[in-house]
């Protein structure tokens, strides 16, 4: 298979980052994600096997993709994920491997993740208040999250980011507490604008603009723009550092000042569908090509999909996306 050094779309954006959902299942029932009874899950028979995902990664690697992030649902509920990540690391030592998790099961996998030399670990945590956490997750215990993060740190995983979606009336007053926790644990906090993914959940009243997030930071006058997060420079966040304390924080303005012009990512669902933009309802089914190991046909399908990637998410009108089925 001929190698393409740079996979690009029709607007010249280099697409070198692939997010792969390994399951749509989750051990939480978060208020803004799904109903109390959960949602109908994809059959185990319909999701990609690890052998399929590895083949997919090989093809994308040949197209110049440099970073693979594994998501869900909650990816750690799928048995065998961390051993698979270790195998992928052995085969592709030069790629960046990342995991997004709610960290509730992390204490059981921290050592193996360290052995896999994971490059990035993102923890979705919208509150550090135990009562609110139990309320929003319906099933979660914040103590499990704290224990998981502590275990990861103890194993030497040091590039840990906390991702918090800011929602007015729920956690908008918690920024100082979240920042204090991040400082104490040596983590990087990132505040994310509430995106209009599901019409039944998102409201303008709950939305907080990124510029207002900045104003809500403690000791506001001491924050100034920073160059990147100190590790990588090609993510969606804008970073700020506090001149007095040295604290760092990231703000992701996915709605008010979106980063579409620099978007470098593609997404694969657990059942092998390619989505070129989170908000684009059009998905390209790749499962048959993957399972038949049709390298050239799969490569051509990926190239065609990349060429059709929308210029910007606000060109696509879709307000009813269920993130548990796509991957965070």
pLDDT in tens, 110-123: 999 999 999 999 99
161 assigned to some structural domain: yes
12 assigned to some structural domain: no
Quote the tokens at residue 228.
């990147």
50 assigned to some structural domain: yes
8 assigned to some structural domain: no
First to last CA, the chain: 31
* Predicted pLDDT of residue 121: 98
pLDDT in tens, 180-205: 999 999 999 999 888 665 555 556 77
- Per the structure, how many domains does the chain have? 1
4 assigned to some structural domain: no
* Predicted pLDDT of residue 211: 80
Whether the CB-CB separation of 27 and 74 falls below 8 Å is answered with: yes
- How far is the CA of 124 from the CAs of 22, 156, 174, 316, in angstroms? 17, 20, 15, 26
* Predicted pLDDT of residue 266: 97
* Predicted pLDDT of residue 232: 57
Whether the CB-CB separation of 214 and 249 falls below 8 Å is answered with: no
CATH of the domain at 127: 3.20.20.70
* Predicted pLDDT of residue 1: 46
Which secondary structure element, helix H or strand E, spans residue 267, and what is its range? strand 265-268
Instruction: Show the domain range for 32.
Output: 17-326
pLDDT in tens, 309-323: 999 876 665 545 555
9 assigned to some structural domain: no
- Predicted TM-score of the model (pTM): 0.91
Quote the tokens at residue 246.
């040295």
Query: Coil, strand, or helix at residue 124?
Result: strand
* Cα dihedral 251, 196, 269, 276 sign: negative
273 assigned to some structural domain: yes
Low-confidence ranges of the chain (pLDDT < 50): 1, 319
5 assigned to some structural domain: no
């Amino acid at each position: 298979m001929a190698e393409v050094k740079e996979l690009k779309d029709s607007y010249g954006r280099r697409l070198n980052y692939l997010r792969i959902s390994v399951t749509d299942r989750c051990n939480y029932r978060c208020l803004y994600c799904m109903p109390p009874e959960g949602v109908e899950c994809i059959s185990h028979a319909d999701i990609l096997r690890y052998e399929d995902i590895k083949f997919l990664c090989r093809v994308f690697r040949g197209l110049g993709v440099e970073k693979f992030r594994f998501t869900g649902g909650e990816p750690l509920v799928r048995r065998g994920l961390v051993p698979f990540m270790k195998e992928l690391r052995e085969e592709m030592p030069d790629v960046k491997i990342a995991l997004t998790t709610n960290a509730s099961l992390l204490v059981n996998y921290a050592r193996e993740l360290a052995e896999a030399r994971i490059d990035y670990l993102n923890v979705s945590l919208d509150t550090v208040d135990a009562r609110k956490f139990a309320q929003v997750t319906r099933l979660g215990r914040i103590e499990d999250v704290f224990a998981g993060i502590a275990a990861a740190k103890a194993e030497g995983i040091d590039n840990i980011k906390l991702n918090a979606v800011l929602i007015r009336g729920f956690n908008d007053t918690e920024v100082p507490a979240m920042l204090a926790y991040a400082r104490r644990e040596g983590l990087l906090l990132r505040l994310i604008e509430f995106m209009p993914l599901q019409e039944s959940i998102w409201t303008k009243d709950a939305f907080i603009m990124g510029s207002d997030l900045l104003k809500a930071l403690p000791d506001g006058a001491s924050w100034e723009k920073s160059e990147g997060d100190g590790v990588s420079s090609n993510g969606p966040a804008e970073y700020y550092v506090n001149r007095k304390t040295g604290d760092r924080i990231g703000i992701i303005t996915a709605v008010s000042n979106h980063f579409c012009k620099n978007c470098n990512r593609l997404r694969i669902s657990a059942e092998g569908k390619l989505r070129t933009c989170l908000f684009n309802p059009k998905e390209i089914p790749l499962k048959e090509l993957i399972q038949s190991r049709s390298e050239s046909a799969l490569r051509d399908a990926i190239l065609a999909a990349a060429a059709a990637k929308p210029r910007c998410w606000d060109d696509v009108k879709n307000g009813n996306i269920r993130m548990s089925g796509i991957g965070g």
